[in-house]
């Protein structure tokens, strides 16, 4: 073939360019040096409901009143005046233009990523090319992955048997609350509790009954806590721990007494117990003193020591941790 036969005329090249741009699965807009729309492809027609006859020759910002003083308007001006190109990512500019998947439903805009590109014609007049991508599917996938990650994180922090937070969540939450208490100089209390003679319960009623017993107790403990910030977690086996932000020891003792009542109201039979005919609890409580710097492991150890003192003294009671002889409730 002769080279001249393969050469395309300017009209043919222009026609091919327009056809290609109209077939492209993205919005293409060209704004002239005066800020008026020079080109508006079919994707823009389909997604905006504005035909090219309605918009060509008119100021781009006049077509969209909510673009006034927007980041997109600034980006277009920077391209036309200074030759600066930019990208308006969806993460910061979700839906700058009123574009929709179907014009029959204009309640939700398309999620958009917009490239703003400075271009010049043969006479070096500066134009602005806008390329608008629909990133809605990518955004939905990202949201689904984030939700899945949150669900996995939630599972990792939950005790499988009782459905309340586990030891891992307890440790992290306690450290967070210790730091917060230090910043705000506020009190913080910790209660450790143990189901009295639970081994005998399992031996007498069976492990399935034991699991159900722990579930009932965990739900009762959770229900007894009134504030969203209070956290009850399974510490291990039949032991539970409770974190009480903004709570002094006196308040923690009142909460512990309320917990005793809740468990008593369950009236779970325990014929193998030497303490009572029903399930009972032993508790230990400690607190973070004002302006005291202490680790979560030390607080838990203190509460655990007080708990063991309660068990040593006959169970079904509360002991407040003290460096001096223990104070019993």
The string of pLDDT tens digits covering residues 216-243 is 999 999 999 989 999 999 999 999 999 9
Q: Which of 34, 73, 177, 238 is catalytic?
A: 238
Angle at CA 93, nearest 5°, toward 86 and 110?
110
Specify whether 238 is catalytic: yes
Torsion of CA 204, 205, 209, 214, to 10 degrees: -30
**Across the strands, what pairs with 40?**
29
| Cβ atoms of 177 and 243 closer than 8 Å | yes
The conformation of residue 49, written as its DSSP 8-state character, comes to -
C-alpha span between 224 and 237 (Å, rounded): 21
Query: pTM higher than 0.75, yes or no?
Result: no
31-68 pLDDT, tens digit each: 999 999 999 999 999 999 999 999 999 999 888 878 88
How far apart, in whole angstroms, are the C-alpha atoms of residue 154 and residue 33? Answer: 54
Tell me how far apart the 2 most distant CA atoms of the chain are, in Å.
Answer: 107
**Residue 326 confidence class, pLDDT cut points 50, 70, 90:** very low
């Amino acid at each position: 073939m002769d080279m001249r036969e393969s050469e395309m005329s300017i009209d043919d090249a222009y026609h091919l360019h327009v056809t290609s741009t109209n077939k492209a699965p993205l919005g293409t807009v060209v704004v002239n040096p005066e800020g008026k729309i020079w080109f508006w492809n079919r994707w823009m027609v389909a997604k905006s409901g504005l035909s090219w006859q309605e918009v060509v020759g008119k100021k781009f910002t006049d077509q969209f009143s909510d673009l006034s003083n927007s980041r997109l308007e600034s980006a277009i001006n920077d391209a036309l005046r200074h030759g600066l190109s930019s990208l308006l990512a969806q993460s910061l500019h979700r839906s700058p233009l009123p574009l929709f998947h179907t014009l029959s439903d204009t309640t939700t805009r398309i999620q958009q990523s917009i490239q703003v590109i400075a271009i010049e014609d043969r006479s070096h007049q500066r134009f602005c090319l806008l390329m608008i991508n629909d990133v809605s599917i990518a955004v939905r996938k990202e949201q689904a992955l984030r939700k899945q990650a949150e669900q996995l994180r939630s599972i990792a922090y939950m005790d499988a048997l009782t459905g309340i937070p586990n030891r891992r969540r307890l440790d992290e939450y306690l450290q967070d609350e210790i730091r917060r208490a230090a910043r705000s100089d506020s009190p913080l209390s910790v209660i450790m509790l143990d189901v009295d003679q639970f081994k005998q319960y399992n031996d007498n009623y069976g492990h399935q009954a034991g699991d159900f017993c722990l579930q009932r107790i965990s739900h009762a403990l959770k229900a007894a806590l009134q504030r969203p910030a209070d956290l009850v977690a399974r510490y291990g086996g039949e032991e539970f721990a409770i974190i009480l932000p903004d709570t002094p020891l006196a308040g923690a003792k009142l909460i512990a007494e309320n917990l005793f009542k809740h468990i008593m109201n369950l009236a779970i039979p325990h014929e193998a117990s030497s303490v009572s005919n029903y399930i009972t609890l032993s508790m230990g409580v400690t607190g973070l003193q004002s302006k005291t710097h202490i680790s979560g492991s030390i607080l838990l150890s203190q509460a655990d020591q007080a708990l063991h003192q309660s068990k040593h003294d006959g169970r079904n009671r509360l002991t407040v941790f003290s460096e001096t002889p223990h104070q019993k409730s």
